Chains A and B, each alone.
Chain A
Amino acid sequence: MHGRGDLVGRSGRWCWLGLACAALGAAVGCGVAEPPEARDTLVFAPPADATVLDPHNTTDSQSDQVILMLFDTLITFDVEMHITGSLAETWEVAEDRVTWTFYLRRGVTFHDGSAFDAEAVRANFERVLDPEQNHKRLPLFEMIDRVEVVDDYTVNIITAYPFGAFEPTMAHVSAAIVSPAVATAHGRTFGRSAEATSGTGPYRVVRWTKDLEIVLERFDGYWGEAPPIRRVEYRPIPEAVSRVIALEAGDVDVITHIPPTDLARLQAEPGIDIYKAVSIGAQQFRFNHAKEPFDDPRVVQAISYAIDRRAIVENLMPGLVEVSTGALTPIMRGYADLGEIEQDQAKARQLLAEAGYPDGFSTTISTTPRYLMGVELAEVLAAQLGQVGIRAEIDVLDWGSMVAFWEGLLPENNPQEIFIMGAGASTADADWGLRPIFMTHPTNENNYGYYSNAEFDRVIQEAMRETDAEARQALYRRAQEIVYLEDPGAIWLYDNYFIIGARADVTNITQSPLGVATFERAAFRE
């Protein structure tokens, strides 16, 4: 009889290991390791996959930043948010202030080989404005009355009324021109697969495996300067810490959405560059103004003065954000610098007393972890409100439940009182940044807080139709004084930086204030 110590003898052990390896090999499927990548492929890891690559039908920035690589607009923003020509070489507005004429670039083709011309522009705006097709970006273009083809390369877009924010709206990614041939062929599934996506941009989609990768390749027929990098791959990594490790390990070249806890460490690492840009994004908490006591501007002001924004920024988001200085972020058109709102607890208590709440009141702060530090922000807010006598409970909800409160609920059915909200008008303009959110609206479409101020409404409507830059700026300044200071529509906390981490050998990443990164000029350092 063998001793027990011999049981797992040499041969036995190796036999088991061999089996284990064989089984594991079988389980993961056979494959050949990829050859070492030549440096003509850039790998970008965003936190989430794109939902749909159709500029007319998406509202999320993860889709937008891929769309920007694939499609062009008639006019576009440069990195300083100035407007320049793209598919239109020049453009002008007539005396009537409603007829905009675009003179189109010649010799432009779509990825599918069809030609770009005035007819394509008309087909695109008819597509986005067609209520039957119900594209998500229809509301953005509601001011367009009709589109007229003048000749093959001249097109008139006529608005229903003089619209002050027309150019930023046309430079918005949703005004991008898709191939009418491919859009017609695929109908509702346009932009949902590689085959069903076609634009005029510097890259085209060659493969899209949901949540795994979107592979783009340089489009050889591109009208502009050819991009230096042949291939760009989008590989979403939802977990923030993994994203950072993948960048450090060199498995990806560029990441966004770096967690605050890793930022300083990455900045110190020699192989990694951190890029920081001002953006249109801001973090707020809003109020249910239809509910007592938030219908009293003094109460809302008191809350605004009770908050120590500096402390929040320095402790929760060091280096990632700046304290807000107005109702819009400084990069946006129409922004007015109204200064930081500093904590003033005495003033807050006094305002509460004037409003009839000398001992404060009880309320609920609703938040969602979908926003960076969403729960922590609510906790700090509750603590600071407690110092002036307002007792706040915190209600943490998932995104779907949060959205349920914001849409389709009449004020009397909405139990939320103070709720978290991210802001970021993707036209980078005051009109879209203020009008849908704070103007009185019969069905409160985007006015989730039921904010209503007669003077604000009047000023906003006047500003919307004002095309003189100076007069427009004065009107928006007045509107922001009302909504930021006099009758606050939100607790304005901070403006986000848009932060990118990249391997040090990647240069020339285009970093838009809209919170999107593109790579049409990116290159690898020798």
Chain B
Amino acid sequence: MTGSLGAFGRHVGRAVIQVVPVLFGISLLVFLIVHVIPGDPAVIAAGLESSPEVIERIRSELGLDLPLPQQFWRFLSHALQGDLGDSIRTGRPVAQEIAERFPYTLRIALGGIVLATLLGLVVGVTAAVYHNRIWDNLIMVLTLVAVSTPSYWLALMLMLVFSLGLGLVPSIGVGTPLHYVLPIVTLGTQSAGLIARMTRSTMLEVLRQDYVRTARAKGLVERSVIYKHALRNTLIPIVSLIGLRFGGLLAGTVLVESVFAVPGMGRMIVEAVLNRDFPMIQGAVLVVATVFVLTNLMVDLVYGIIDPRLRAT
């Protein structure tokens, strides 16, 4: 047992060590992109009506007159100490801005992925169990619709029906838990469809396996066969999908945030890009990327829990 735990420990250690070069690569990439796109941050920071002397002074204040490697080193060494610099646009520390905005995005992304997972698993298993019958066909059509509905359109439709039409939930804002219902449903729908389809196809494969037949032959109730024996073995691809979708939801909430006026990271990043607020772009992308990488690290670790065989390898 200790041997297996030690192997699991090494598995964790390896996964963690792999994260470091990935994050370094991301930092470098973000830094380079910000410095390659047209648009002079110093000019935007100074304002269109500023004189050239003022612009030059701001450029040196921002450290933009230093050679690129030196700028990157500054960014990296400060970032390691948790200092992501000050936003050009608001003048406040980037880390503080992110700390204020990230919880909103995290809430709708987390809500979206929880909704998508629960809905996706239930619907997917149901479809697999009723394979080729009316429920299965209906579910396949509905999930196809869910996957292909643009979130912008879905958001507005939900708003029209549930806020304006029925008056059940508020249209915009984040004041109460009710405010989060529409953003979460909007964000979760597409992932729910994907997870459902993935669950169904994996489940169908598993249900054909010998051990499922054995379980049934032992006289286990069907529910136990499905949820204890079959579902567990379908989870590996589904968990990877959930991990990837969660990362996608974190980074891809900007439309939902704009439509529902949620003050999250997506809007902050878009605004930062449009204003060439480069400390903000760098900081925010780095944070989102880190969360993405950590999510996938967790997925790796969850594999080990679901499938004990992976701990040893």
Contact (Cβ within 8 A) A189 B92: yes
Contact (Cβ within 8 A) B261 A20: no
Q: Which of A29-37, A84-92, A260-268, A379-387 contacts B (4 or more CB under 8 A)?
A: A29-37
Among residues of A, the one whose C-beta sits closest to the C-beta of B54 is A134
Residues of chain B in range 24-73 having any CB-CB distance to chain A below 8 Å: 37-40, 43-44, 46-52, 54-55, 57-58
How distant is A225 from chain B, measured CB to nearest CB, in Å? Answer: 31
Contact (Cβ within 8 A) A7 B40: no
Residues of chain A in range 282-319 having any CB-CB distance to chain B below 8 Å: none
Among residues of B, the one whose C-beta sits closest to the C-beta of A446 is B49
Among residues of A, the one whose C-beta sits closest to the C-beta of B220 is A1
Using a Cβ cutoff of 8 Å, how many contacts connect chains A and B? 193
Q: Which of A103-111, A401-409, A452-460, A497-505 contacts B (4 or more CB under 8 A)?
A: A401-409
Residues of chain B in range 128-186 having any CB-CB distance to chain A below 8 Å: 129-130, 156, 159-160, 163-164, 167, 170-178, 180, 184
Q: Does B306 contact A (CB under 8 A)?
A: no
Q: Which of A237-245, A321-329, A334-342 contacts B (4 or more CB under 8 A)?
A: A237-245
How distant is A501 from chain B, measured CB to nearest CB, in Å? Answer: 15
Q: Does A82 contact B (CB under 8 A)?
A: no
Contact (Cβ within 8 A) A24 B163: no
> Are A242 and B172 also in contact (CB < 8 A) when A59-B48, A136-B49, A404-B43 are?
yes
Provide the bound-state CA to CA distance between A464 and B39, in Å: 33
> Are A236 and B261 also in contact (CB < 8 A) when A20-B115, A20-B119, A134-B57 are?
yes
> Are A242 and B261 also in contact (CB < 8 A) when A400-B38, A403-B39, A443-B52 are?
yes
Q: Does B295 contact A (CB under 8 A)?
A: no
Contact (Cβ within 8 A) B43 A408: yes
Q: Does B110 contact A (CB under 8 A)?
A: yes
Contact (Cβ within 8 A) B171 A242: yes
Q: In the complex, which residues of chain B have a beta carbon less than 8 angstroms from the beta carbon of A8?
A: 122, 125-126
Q: In the complex, which residues of chain B have a beta carbon less than 8 angstroms from the beta carbon of A525?
A: none
Q: Does B17 contact A (CB under 8 A)?
A: no
Residues of chain B in range 263-283 having any CB-CB distance to chain A below 8 Å: 263, 267-268, 271, 273-276
Interface residues as binary, A393-430 with B (CB distance below 8 Å gives 1, 0 otherwise): 00000111101101110000000000000000000000
Q: Which of A245, A370, A436 has the largest number of chain B CB atoms within 10 A?
A: A245
How distant is B124 from chain A, measured CB to nearest CB, in Å? Answer: 12
How distant is A222 from chain B, measured CB to nearest CB, in Å? Answer: 28
Interface residues as binary, B241-285 with A (CB distance below 8 Å gives 1, 0 otherwise): 000000000000000001111010001100101111000000000
* A interface SS class: loop
Q: In the complex, which residues of chain A have a beta carbon less than 8 angstroms from the beta carbon of B114?
A: 20, 23-24, 27
Q: In the complex, which residues of chain B have a beta carbon less than 8 angstroms from the beta carbon of A235?
A: 172-173, 261
Q: Which of B5-13, B74-82, B221-229, B297-305 contacts A (4 or more CB under 8 A)?
A: B221-229
Among residues of B, the one whose C-beta sits closest to the C-beta of A134 is B54
Among residues of B, the one whose C-beta sits closest to the C-beta of A32 is B176
Q: In the complex, which residues of chain B have a beta carbon less than 8 angstroms from the beta carbon of A6?
A: 222-223
Query: Which of under 10, 10 to 19, 20 to 34, or 35 or more describes the interface residues of A?
Result: 35 or more
Q: In the complex, which residues of chain B have a beta carbon less than 8 angstroms from the beta carbon of A249?
A: 159, 163-164, 167, 170-171
Provide the bound-state CA to CA distance between A31 and B107, in Å: 13
> Are A192 and B40 also in contact (CB < 8 A) when A8-B122, A398-B274 are?
no
> Are A241 and B156 also in contact (CB < 8 A) when A27-B107, A192-B92 are?
yes
Q: Does A373 contact B (CB under 8 A)?
A: no
How distant is A120 from chain B, measured CB to nearest CB, in Å? Answer: 24
Among residues of A, the one whose C-beta sits closest to the C-beta of B268 is A211
Contact (Cβ within 8 A) A28 B267: no
Contact (Cβ within 8 A) B49 A211: no
Q: In the complex, which residues of chain B have a beta carbon less than 8 angstroms from the beta carbon of A33?
A: 176, 178
Interface residues as binary, A220-258 with B (CB distance below 8 Å gives 1, 0 otherwise): 000000000000000111110110011011011000000
Among residues of B, the one whose C-beta sits closest to the C-beta of A1 is B222
Contact (Cβ within 8 A) A212 B176: no
How distant is A142 from chain B, measured CB to nearest CB, in Å? Answer: 10
Contact (Cβ within 8 A) B267 A251: no
Among residues of A, the one whose C-beta sits closest to the C-beta of B57 is A134
Contact (Cβ within 8 A) B222 A2: yes
Q: In the complex, which residues of chain B have a beta carbon less than 8 angstroms from the beta carbon of A401?
A: 37-39
Q: Which of B54, B114, B171, B259 has the largest number of chain A CB atoms within 10 A?
A: B171
Q: In the complex, which residues of chain A have a beta carbon less than 8 angstroms from the beta carbon of B129?
A: 4, 7
Q: Which of these, A4, A239, A400, contacts B259 with CB under 8 Å? A: A239
> Are A189 and B91 also in contact (CB < 8 A) when A27-B110, A445-B51 are?
yes
Contact (Cβ within 8 A) A403 B49: no
Provide the bound-state CA to CA distance between A136 and B167, in Å: 45
> Are A31 and B38 also in contact (CB < 8 A) when A210-B101, A237-B261, A408-B55 are?
no
Interface residues as binary, A29-59 with B (CB distance below 8 Å gives 1, 0 otherwise): 1111110000000000100000110000001
Q: In the complex, which residues of chain A have a beta carbon less than 8 angstroms from the beta carbon of B90?
A: 51-52, 192, 210
Q: Does B216 contact A (CB under 8 A)?
A: yes
> Are A251 and B39 also in contact (CB < 8 A) when A7-B129, A212-B263, A400-B273 are?
no
How distant is B169 from chain A, measured CB to nearest CB, in Å? Answer: 10
Q: In the complex, which residues of chain B have a beta carbon less than 8 angstroms from the beta carbon of A212?
A: 173-174, 261, 263
Contact (Cβ within 8 A) A24 B111: yes
Q: Does B97 contact A (CB under 8 A)?
A: yes
Q: In the complex, which residues of chain B have a beta carbon less than 8 angstroms from the beta carbon of A9?
A: 223
Contact (Cβ within 8 A) B110 A403: no
How distant is B151 from chain A, measured CB to nearest CB, in Å? Answer: 12
Q: In the complex, which residues of chain B have a beta carbon less than 8 angstroms from the beta carbon of A399?
A: 274-275
Q: Does A25 contact B (CB under 8 A)?
A: yes
Contact (Cβ within 8 A) A403 B48: yes
How distant is A262 from chain B, measured CB to nearest CB, in Å? Answer: 12
Q: Does A19 contact B (CB under 8 A)?
A: yes
Of the A-B pairs whose beta carbons lie under 8 Å apart in the complex, a sample of 17, sorted by A's number, is A7-B222, A9-B223, A19-B118, A28-B177, A28-B180, A31-B177, A51-B90, A52-B90, A136-B46, A139-B51, A212-B173, A245-B164, A246-B171, A246-B261, A251-B170, A398-B273, A401-B37
Interfacial residues, chain B to chain A (CB-CB below 8 A):
37-40, 43-44, 46-52, 54-55, 57-58, 89-92, 97, 100-101, 107, 110-111, 114-115, 118-119, 122, 125-126, 129-130, 156, 159-160, 163-164, 167, 170-178, 180, 184, 216, 219, 221-223, 226, 258-261, 263, 267-268, 271, 273-276
Interfacial residues, chain A to chain B (CB-CB below 8 A):
1-4, 6-9, 12, 16, 19-20, 23-25, 27-34, 45, 51-52, 59, 131, 134, 136, 139-140, 188-189, 192-193, 209-212, 235-239, 241-242, 245-246, 248-249, 251-252, 370, 398-401, 403-404, 406-408, 436, 443, 445-446
Given contacts A51-B90, A238-B267, A446-B48, 5 further A-B contacts (CB under 8 A): A33-B176, A139-B50, A139-B51, A404-B39, A436-B49
5 closest pairs, A vs B, by CB? A211-B263, A400-B39, A27-B111, A212-B263, A136-B47
